[in-house]
Amino acid sequence: MDGGILLTSGTGSSGSLGHGDTRDVPQLRIVESLLGGSVKQVACGSAHMVAVSVDHQVYAWGCGSNGRLGIGSRMTQLWPQHVDIQYSEAEVTGVVAGHDCSFLVTTSGVVLATGSNRMNKLCVDETDLAGCETLKQIEDVATFVQVCSRPLANASIIKVSTGHNHSIFLTDAGEVFTAGKNTCGQLGHIGSQNPRVPARVMDPVARTQVTHIDCGEDFSLAITQDGRVYSWGGKWDHKTTVDDPRKPKILTRDPVGESVRPVLVDVHQHIKGNVSVAAAGDTVLLCLKS
């Protein structure tokens, strides 16, 4: 993407490339229907895309099953479709696309979600005032609705990430909450409470201020203000594949065993300055800039 112009390439079977057909595109090609606006951020799900423009307009296209596009239809869309956001009290600043769902982050700290709510990973179930019991289960939604499951309903959320069956949320206070399935320990807590109610990640993450989060298919990770990296959900091989501190660190998963409690990841150096993190499948990429 250059100057707000969006280009896509790859497999087009789901219509997620936005060119009006399902053909594969081997080289980057401009998404012509978005040339009228300047795209500032785009997120890619497994079979759909969501984009937000500089004037905070949201577009979605590709596979529409489970309502993941948020346009009220579950049909596949071959062209970018404008998303009508009912929540008008704040502007959309960020987009997240998961396997079968999507999230929008707003300037007010409110997060909007659409798509599959399997095990309440979108946190749109209705809960009691104490945030302990589920009053109404929502299996999926086809339009963007506000995250409302307590205690997240009262929190100001600044970042969201989602895996196949779970999601992770970061508040402006540096607290981390998770929701969804916990079969691999990816929620970061024992899970003795109602499994459909979002819960704060246990120590040591709970005793620190977190600045970055992300998650893969069945694991989660967090980076704290003092530069520590924690992961949970899958047993990690904490060896990095490169020794040059100027290059990205790639962490790979050891498929043997599980780690429910967050564990410290050894990246062989203290993280300082700017950092970005990306996770997908069973791999994490940390990019450091001093």
Q: What is the pLDDT of residues 180-216, one digit of tens each?
A: 988 888 998 876 667 788 999 988 888 889 999 999 8
The residues pairing with 96 across neighbouring beta strands, listed in sequence order, are 103
Q: Residue 7, CB half-sphere, CA atoms under 13 Å: how many?
A: 9
* Confidence (pLDDT) at 271: 61
Q: Which structural domains are found in the chain, ordered by start?
A: 90-289 (2.130.10.30)
Q: What is the CA radius of gyration of the chain?
A: 19
Whole-number Å distance between alpha carbons of 56 and 271: 32
Whole-number Å distance between alpha carbons of 166 and 188: 11
pLDDT class of 131 with cuts at 50, 70, 90: confident
Q: What is the average per-residue pLDDT within 96-120?
A: 95
Whole-number Å distance between alpha carbons of 219 and 241: 20
For 233-288, the pLDDT digits (tens) are 875 444 434 444 444 444 444 433 346 788 888 776 566 656 667 777 667 777 76
In this structure, the number of other CB atoms found within 10 A of the CB of residue 149 comes to 22
In this structure, of 10-14, 85-89, 253-257, the range with the lowest mean pLDDT score is: 253-257
Residue 1 pLDDT > 60, yes or no? no
* Confidence (pLDDT) at 266: 73
Residue 81 pLDDT > 60, yes or no? yes
Provide the CA 72 distance to its chain's centre, in angstroms: 21
* Confidence (pLDDT) at 236: 47
* Confidence (pLDDT) at 235: 52
Residue-averaged pLDDT of the chain: 85
pLDDT class of 78 with cuts at 50, 70, 90: very high
For 20-58, the pLDDT digits (tens) are 999 999 999 999 999 988 999 999 999 999 999 999 999
Q: What is the average per-residue pLDDT within 93-118?
A: 95
Check whether the bond before 80 is cis (ω within 30° of 0): no
Pairing of β 77-82 and β 58-62: antiparallel
* Confidence (pLDDT) at 265: 80
